Every structure is written in structure tokens, then in C-alpha cells.
Amino acid sequence: MTLDLAGMPRLHTLAEVSELVQALGLVHVRYSAGPSADRAAVSRDHESGCLMPGLSANPMTPEPWWDRPVEHWIARQLNQYAHLMVGDRFPWLLTGEISGRGPDCEPLLVAITPVASVGSPALDQAATLYRQAFTRGADGT
């Protein structure tokens, strides 16, 4: 583990991400330019233009019904939202208070605490595990 440009620990492996999520409990991932850029921001629904009451993030902590390893949940979450990593955006982990839900039912967080950023090796491991463990596009019925 090293520090990133924002001074947060950077997690280099999926195991490090999993250990942190299990140690802290309710952790979320956000793809953005980082905590400094988001400090005074809230998210906006791009389709409606509505401001949302918090920062859009996605849960890294599995739901109680999840009967697979924690790493599978984490790999899925990181992989599902990797398309948001454009320009200066990167994945970082945070905790906070849920103030509502966004249009995709994602939690909206306030009173956030940045925890760590997720490095490229961990993202690569997540993508590999996702391909091995999941059937992409499978019917969810």
C-alpha cells in the first residue's frame, strides 16, 4: 500500500480492498476526480438535470443475501462502474451517511470520509475475477 496524490492510501490488490471493506463495514466506491474535487459538490442526474442530495456512490459491502465471497461482490462493483474512469476520474473508497437514492437506486452520501483509492493492479484483478465468476448479461429472473 502506498499513498496517492490526494494523500489517501492506495490499495494495489483486490485482497487489500477486501480486507479494508471487511474491517470498516459499510464502504462505498466513487469514480471522480477525488475527495478534494468533491468536497463541496453534490451529484447531478445527467438526464433530468436535477441536483441530488449527496454524492453518488456504490456499495462495496455485500448485501446480507449475498452468498458468495466478499471478493466477488467487490470485483463486480469495481467492474460494473469502471466505465466511469475517464479523464481524471479514478475509483476511491469512502464512508458516509446515506441521504437518499439516485435514479439508479445508488446511495447518495453526505458527511463523507475518504478512506483509500483503488490502484490499477486491483482493478485488473477485479476484471479478471469478474470474467471468471460471473455470466455477463445473464437474465436476472
Residue pLDDT, tens place only, 55-109: 999 999 999 999 999 999 999 999 988 888 889 999 999 999 999 999 999 999 9
pLDDT the model gives residue 139: 61
Which domain does 108 fall in, by range?
13-39+51-133
Residue 141 has pLDDT above 60, yes or no: no
Write the CB contacts of 62 (distance below 8 Å, at least 6 apart in sequence): 68, 70, 73
Residue 15 has pLDDT above 80, yes or no: yes
- The answer to whether residue 103 sits within a structural domain is yes
- The answer to whether residue 6 sits within a structural domain is no
pLDDT the model gives residue 42: 79
- The answer to whether residue 70 sits within a structural domain is yes
Phi, psi of 96 (to 5 degrees): 175, 180
pLDDT the model gives residue 23: 96
63 DSSP assignment: P
- The answer to whether residue 1 sits within a structural domain is no
Residue pLDDT, tens place only, 35-63: 999 987 778 898 999 999 999 999 999 99
The total number of structural domains in the chain stands at 1
H or E element, residue 48? none
Residue written as grid cell 460471473? 134
Find out whether 66 and 76 touch, Cβ atoms under 8 Å: no
- The answer to whether residue 3 sits within a structural domain is no
Q: How far is CA 40 from CA 92, 110, 122, in A?
A: 17, 10, 28
- The answer to whether residue 139 sits within a structural domain is no
- The answer to whether residue 24 sits within a structural domain is yes
H or E element, residue 71? helix 70-80
- The answer to whether residue 64 sits within a structural domain is yes
